């Protein structure tokens, strides 16, 4: 396919993310927009083309499409609606100048996904527009939806399209900016809506406001021009409406989006001038394509990008050479000569580019992504697939930076951590489809910890004689708790350790090693071996096989043999001595406590309180977050929330959402601790 030679000017480009609650009609709307604009490859499902998306019937990752409408070229990103794939939503917001938020006309309240998308756009500092969808639904209620939106987002919310009828009686939409001559069946007073819109817009321009109060009505063209800037600054949030099923409002909405969406020059971004010649661009998405391999999706903020350009890439010492620049339409690509400021394009087969990579010498803020908290341990089902699996998992993490891989230091098992069970399930399906790898999965071990609760002292002698040179080492230890947060410099003083010679603090373990040897009882060259023995035993624990934390150990005396003592002997003595003395310090188990923020309808708050109580959690309080929603703040053991999304969905009918993060560690209840120690004993016996 020959490269295109004509590129639209930056000011003709409009970059928009389409977002909203799951099943609000985002992908269907975009597919219809593409058909209406007679865009390349239009027809059928252009946005949701991925195999997993077709199976599950919803968007899983962002999809980039484009169309022309009059003098404008619209670059549109279809984003996932489920919180399970929120990484794609947030990354897309960093690449656009406005967000079009789809809202179900029949929803009784503003849904969780809608709020999430509105908040993400506000945090990204981009303009927000709203599309009320599914006007043909028998339960559609435009006025109620508009009222709910205003309750949440204030007077900035103003309708620019109003339905003529709704449900089965829907017959069209009316333009509020340029009032129609006939507006029979309008669901609200158009004259009043026009007046509200005008007053909101003229407030953003002092000259126009002065003329308005003197009785001069602004022309529709002046209103539209002002609205574009007011949308970019957040002073106006226009509301449109559509029924894709009956094709009502599609043409009018598309025209309105093309005319009102902010231009790249209207959205303020730190250190970026879209008119500048200096190249500034950022990768916001990566997709592994079976035909062109790795595709990196790029938003150009200033300057231009061409094939074979040598460009600076963040994280790389040397400039890299650009591969051909591609225009993207769903799963289709075509080469173009140049990408200008405002363009959203892709390049293939560039290993130096990752999500968040900045192209050019300007520093851009990192793309903020949600922290994965749901883990799943995995192993290949077929022996010999280990290397193949490692390569496949690398591809998944390239595509999805909200997927984290780690190896459990205690068990050695590989663990993938994502945003939810559904998130990990989809990735597992992709492994099977794309890489033909089946994996076995199970819940990962909870990261329990061990600690001591009182001080104790003891002596351990390691002695072994089996002919020839033997092994001898003796250590005298004092062990005590070291509460997390202790000022180590104040703790390690001569009052507490009268013979103190030196100390070393290990932050990750919160472990303080104190050397108080005097008179050469243990030669100095053996002290590092003792410390190493301590650290190895700390990693394995002393009662249930979990890492030991929050302790200080003083080595204050000992004995050595001029022939039989060695580093190996003192390392063993250190490890075994710690194990012996720790058991006199009343060791106990600690468990991770997570903070949870649970958003649910008001009528479900009591169920959440009861459920948290049954899990041994603590409800810290609740607050209204607007509309009918309440946010319940809890602290609860991680061991009881592994599959909480299922419970919450059942309690709320799918209307709830939650986030969790590690808060602190607490002592494990006695019955749980007994069970964990029994498991450790059984494993040790096998």
- Which string of b and e fits 614-644 if b means at least 16 CB within 10 Å? ebebebeebeeeebbbbbbebbbbbbbbeeb
- Which string of b and e fits 476-491 if b means at least 16 CB within 10 Å? bbbbbbbeeebeeeeb
**Confidence at 271, pLDDT banded by 50, 70, 90:** low
CB-facing half-sphere around the CA of 435: CA atoms within 13 A: 23
What does the block give as tokens for 50? Answer: 């991925």
The domain limits of the chain are 11-266, 280-359, 374-442, 450-586, 590-672
Helical segments of 219-288, H only: 220-233, 250-260
On whether the CB atoms of residues 274 and 299 are closer than 8 A, the answer is no
State the pLDDT at residue 7.
43
The mean predicted confidence, pLDDT, of the chain is 91
State the pLDDT at residue 345.
98
- Pairing status of strand 471-481 against strand 551-559: antiparallel
Write phi, then psi, for 364 (nearest 5 degrees). Answer: -110, 150
What does the block give as tokens for 618? Answer: 């603590």
On whether the CB atoms of residues 364 and 354 are closer than 8 A, the answer is no
For the beta sheet containing 414-418, the strands, ordered from the edge strand earlier in sequence to the opposite edge, are 404-407, 414-418, 374-380, 439-442
State the pLDDT at residue 8.
53
Q: Kindly state the percentage of the chain with pLDDT values over 70.
A: 97
Best CATH choice for the domain 11-266 from the list 3.40.930.10, 3.50.50.60, 3.40.50.2300, 3.40.50.300: 3.40.50.300
State the pLDDT at residue 4.
35
Mean pLDDT calculated for residue range 26-33: 96
On whether the CB atoms of residues 570 and 530 are closer than 8 A, the answer is yes
Evaluate if residue 619 carries a pLDDT over 50: yes
Evaluate if residue 577 carries a pLDDT over 60: yes
Mean pLDDT calculated for residue range 97-125: 91
**Confidence at 3, pLDDT banded by 50, 70, 90:** very low
State the pLDDT at residue 238.
98
CATH fold group of domain 450-586: Ribosomal Protein S5; domain 2 (3.30.230)
The dihedral built from the CA positions of residue 198, 201, 203 and 206, taken in this order, carries a sign that is: negative
State the pLDDT at residue 175.
95
Q: Is 498 exposed, middle or buried (0-12, 13-18, 19+ CB in 10 A)?
A: exposed
Domains 280-359 and 590-672 share a fold: no
State the pLDDT at residue 686.
64
State the pLDDT at residue 5.
33
State the pLDDT at residue 219.
87
State the pLDDT at residue 684.
67
- Is 507 strand, coil or helix? coil
What is the full DSSP assignment across 422-433? HHHHHHHHHHHH
- Tell me the per-residue pLDDT of 365-387, one tens digit each, with 9 for 90 and over: 889 898 787 788 999 999 889 99
State the pLDDT at residue 625.
85
Q: How far is Cα 651 from Cα 605, in angstroms, rounded to an integer? A: 10
What is the full DSSP assignment across 471-496? EEEEEEEEEEE--TT--HHHHS-TTT
CATH architecture of structural domain 374-442 = 2-Layer Sandwich (3.30)
Rg, C-alpha atoms of the chain: 31
pTM of the model: 0.78
- Tell me the per-residue pLDDT of 526-545, one tens digit each, with 9 for 90 and over: 999 999 999 999 999 999 88
- Give, as one character, the DSSP assignment of residue 186: B
State the pLDDT at residue 216.
83
Evaluate if residue 84 carries a pLDDT over 90: no
Q: Kindly state the percentage of the chain with pLDDT values over 90.
A: 70
Mean pLDDT calculated for residue range 343-353: 95
Q: How far is Cα 207 from Cα 201, in angstroms, rounded to an integer? A: 12
- Tell me the per-residue pLDDT of 464-481, one tens digit each, with 9 for 90 and over: 887 677 899 999 999 999
Nearest by Cα to 63 from 86, 81, 46:
46
The dihedral built from the CA positions of residue 28, 31, 35 and 37, taken in this order, carries a sign that is: positive
Evaluate if residue 594 carries a pLDDT over 70: yes
Residue 677 or residue 487, greater confidence: 487
- Is 386 strand, coil or helix? helix
Q: How far is Cα 413 from Cα 406, in angstroms, rounded to an integer? A: 9
CATH 2.40.30.10 fits 280-359, yes or no: yes
CATH architecture of structural domain 590-672 = 2-Layer Sandwich (3.30)
């Amino acid at each position: 396919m020959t490269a295109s030679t004509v590129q639209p000017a930056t000011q003709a480009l409009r970059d928009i993310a389409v977002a909203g609650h799951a099943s609000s009609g985002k992908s269907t709307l975009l597919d219809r927009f593409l058909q209406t604009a007679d865009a390349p490859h239009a027809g059928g499902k252009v946005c949701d083309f991925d195999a997993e998306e077709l199976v599950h019937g919803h968007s899983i990752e962002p999809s980039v499409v484009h169309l022309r409408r009059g003098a404008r070229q619209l670059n549109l990103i279809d984003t996932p609606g489920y919180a399970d794939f929120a990484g794609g939503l947030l990354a897309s917001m960093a690449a656009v100048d406005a967000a079009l938020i789809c809202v179900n006309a029949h929803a009784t309240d503003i849904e969780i996904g809608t709020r999430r998308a509105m908040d993400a756009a506000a945090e990204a500092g981009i303009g927000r527009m709203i599309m009320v969808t599914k006007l043909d639904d028998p339960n559609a209620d435009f006025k109620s939806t508009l009222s709910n939106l205003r309750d949440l987002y204030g007077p900035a919310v103003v309708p620019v399209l109003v339905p003529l009828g709704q449900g089965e009686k829907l017959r069209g939409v009316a333009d509020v900016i340029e009032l129609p001559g006939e507006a029979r069946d309008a669901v609200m007073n158009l004259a009043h809506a026009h007046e509200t819109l005008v007053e909101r817009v003229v407030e953003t321009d002092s000259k126009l406001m002065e003329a308005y109060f003197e009785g001069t009505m602004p022309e529709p063209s002046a209103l539209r021009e002002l609205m574009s800037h007011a949308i970019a600054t957040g002073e106006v949030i226009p509301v449109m409406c559509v029924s894709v099923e009956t094709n009502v409002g599609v043409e009018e909405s598309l025209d309105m989006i093309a005319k009102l969406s902010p231009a790249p020059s209207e959205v303020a971004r730190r250190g970026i001038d879209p008119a500048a010649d200096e190249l500034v661009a950022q990768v916001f998405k990566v997709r592994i394509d079976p035909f062109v391999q790795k595709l990196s999706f790029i938003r150009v903020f200033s300057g231009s990008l061409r094939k074979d350009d040598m460009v600076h890439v963040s994280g790389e010492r040397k400039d890299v050479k650009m591969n051909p620049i591609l225009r993207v339409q769903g799963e289709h690509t075509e080469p173009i000569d140049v990408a200008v400021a405002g363009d959203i394009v892709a390049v293939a087969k560039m290993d130096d580019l990752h999500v968040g990579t900045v192209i050019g010498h300007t520093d851009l803020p990192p793309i903020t992504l949600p922290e994965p908290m749901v883990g799943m341990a995995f192993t290949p089902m077929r022996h010999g697939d280990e290397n193949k699996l490692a390569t496949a998992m690398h591809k998944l993490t390239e595509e999805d930076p909200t997927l984290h891989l780690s190896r459990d230091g205690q068990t050695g098992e590989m663990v993938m951590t994502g945003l939810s069970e559904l998130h990990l399930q989809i990735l597992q399906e992709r492994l099977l489809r794309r890489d033909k790898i089946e994996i076995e999965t199970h819940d990962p071990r909870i990261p329990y910890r061990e600690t001591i609760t009182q001080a104790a002292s003891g002596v351990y002698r390691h002695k072994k004689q089996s002919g020839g040179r033997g092994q001898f080492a003796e250590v005298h230890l004092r062990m005590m708790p070291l509460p997390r947060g202790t000022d180590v410099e104040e703790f390690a003083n001569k009052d507490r350790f009268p013979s103190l010679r030196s100390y070393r603090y290990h932050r990750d373990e919160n472990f303080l090693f104190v050397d108080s040897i005097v008179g050469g009882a243990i030669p100095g060259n053996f002290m590092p071996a003792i410390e190493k023995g301590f650290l190895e035993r700390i990693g394995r624990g002393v009662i249930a096989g979990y890492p030991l934390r929050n302790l200080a150990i003083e080595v204050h005396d000992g004995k050595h043999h001029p022939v039989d003592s060695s580093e190996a002997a003192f390392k063993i003595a250190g490890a075994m001595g710690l194990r012996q003395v720790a058991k006199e310090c009343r060791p106990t188990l600690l468990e991770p406590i997570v903070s949870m923020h649970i958003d649910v309808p008001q009528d479900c708050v009591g169920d959440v309180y009861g459920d948290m109580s049954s899990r041994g959690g603590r409800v810290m309080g609740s607050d209204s977050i607007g509309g009918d929603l309440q946010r319940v703040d809890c602290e609860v053991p991680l061991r009881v929330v592994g599959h909480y999304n299922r419970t919450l969905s059942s309690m709320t009918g799918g209307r709830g959402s939650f986030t969790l993060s590690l808060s602190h560690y607490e002592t494990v209840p006695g019955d749980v601790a007994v069970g964990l120690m029994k498991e450790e004993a059984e494993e040790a016996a096998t």
